[in-house]
Amino acid sequence: MDKNRYLIDFNTEHLENEYYDVVIIGSGIAGVYTALEIPEEYKVAILTKETIDISNSVLAQGGIAVSLDEEDSPELHFKDTIYAGAGLCNEESVWVLVNEAASNIKCLCQYGVNFDRKSPKELSLTREGAHSKNRIIHAGDTTGKEVCDKLTSVVRTRNNVTIRERTFVLDLLTENGACKGILAYEEDSTKYKLYLTNVVVCATGGFGQIYEYTTNPEVATGDGVCLAYRAGVELMDLEFIQFHPTVLFHPENKSFLISEAVRGEGAILRNIHGDRFMAEYHELEELAPRDVVSRAIFEEMRKYKSTHVYLDITFKSKEYLENRFPNIYKTCLNYGIDMSKDYIPVAPAEHYCMGGIRSDVYGRTNILGFYACGESACNGIHGANRLASNSLLEGLVFGHKIGSEIGNIIKNREKKIHISVDFQSNRKEQIKEPEAIKKEVQRIMTENVGIIRNKEGLHKAKESLDKYYKMLQSVENKNITHFELQNIVLLSKLVIESAMEREESRGAHFRSDYNKTDDINWRRNIIRKRGESIAQSI
């Protein structure tokens, strides 16, 4: 058997096991909403490697995109998404997203999510980058937390749902191309356990922790994408990494997001000398697509040898800012920045992964019974660059689609599952200084596979990651630090290989040695399975 197939040596006959109709990995908006959409007659487990309240979704500030205004429409939302995606969006997926947005938002309101309102019957709408209309609904500047808190409170009342916190899912178990369960590590008891099931939903979020600076929480190490890859699940478009343009740049904090909604409310960008510059880069200025704004900031920093630029919203009153952006205002004030008087120092940081587990509009993958949704999935919605505030919406719309699909599938499934795996790799070496290796990988990725890339830097990064990857294959993995390091190194290697393969600049993937978009030979990069080179597919 492939020595890279599993993270640990194990024998299923020696492990405790439990059966569930559905196992959901991840507790962000995609995972929890999917659980709520599954008929209550089925037994569901939500596994999360930290507590249920820690996820990328919780940190989402700006809001959720949905066409509700009489001057807006799903068609306009569709066009804006396609435009931002730089020609690589899957139109079928985007149509599903924009046409089913309103019904899922209505469901959130029924669950008690308290969005800001213009009137008792009308939600307040704002605008973000590359949106042609005001269509972002929000709950102050902590929309993700409000949505996740409400959904979590509802899912806790469901008798059919079991929540297992501090449970790290290592690998997917399959047989004859079909899902049979997962292998997990329970951190509190330090025991391994089998969760037997014919249906696994991967909603583990992104992998921002492969970079030095990211808005993602520490749990975002791409575990779901990696366990899928080791099981032979197809991945897609890993080269497209979105860097958010405006992340606080302060000696004590370089990961706090300054929401795009701040620019949506009129904030402007200024370089280190105080000069406004976005008009030189794009006609939409501060509301250009994120990849454009990030590269413009990067160029201004390079031009003036500065570590940051400034975001200026000082024309708004203190009262307005405290009301509209309470969390951002308070956080900035904690660092001595009064955004009603002071410019906010900002710089780009990794924010979102457009690529991931290749899936269709029902979350299905090439492994029967294995589904993916949210940031860990890639069904082509975002193309080469995600449109602002489509991410939470994606988790809702496709979580609903998966829930409806699963109900049709598992009603005829046999509930007795037996799988026998005896995996012995003879890995004996110990990892020396895993945190140091992680930091070095993050540095390599930031320097060579960041906002602007080129052949020389990518090859340099690949040589280093290949060495780390080879070294780790002989290492015995004993705890979560080891598991995460394996996943970080694997994903970094795959991202580099995907970036090398795409010899053009498109959306969030910009290569200085191929700085034009190849509109004739465009393709999607699909990693089909372990050991195979990337396949180019239209």
Task: Give catalytic residues, as residue numbers.
Answer: 290
User: Which residues, 6 or more positions from 273, have their beta carbon under 8 angstroms from its beta carbon?
Assistant: 304
Which tokens in the block code for residue 531?
Answer: 């050991």
Which tokens in the block code for residue 477?
Answer: 């993995």
Cβ pair 278, 300 in contact under 8 A: no
What proportions of the chain, in percent to the nearest 5, are helix, strand and coil?
35, 20, 45
Cβ pair 35, 161 in contact under 8 A: yes
Query: Which stretches does DSSP call E strand in 165-252?
Result: 167-175, 178-186, 191-196, 200-202, 235-236, 241-248
DSSP 126-180: B--TT-SS--EE-STT-HHHHHHHHHHHHHTT-TTEEEE-SEEEEEEEEETTEEE
Quick check: helix, strand or coil at residue 80?
helix
Is residue 369 left, alpha or beta, with left meaning phi > 0 and alpha meaning psi from -120 to 50? Answer: left
Quick check: helix, strand or coil at residue 111?
coil
Q: Which of 220, 143, 200, 271 is nearest to 376 (CA)?
A: 220
Which tokens in the block code for residue 222?
Answer: 């791409």
Cβ pair 364, 267 in contact under 8 A: no
Cβ pair 234, 529 in contact under 8 A: yes
Which tokens in the block code for residue 274?
Answer: 């105080």
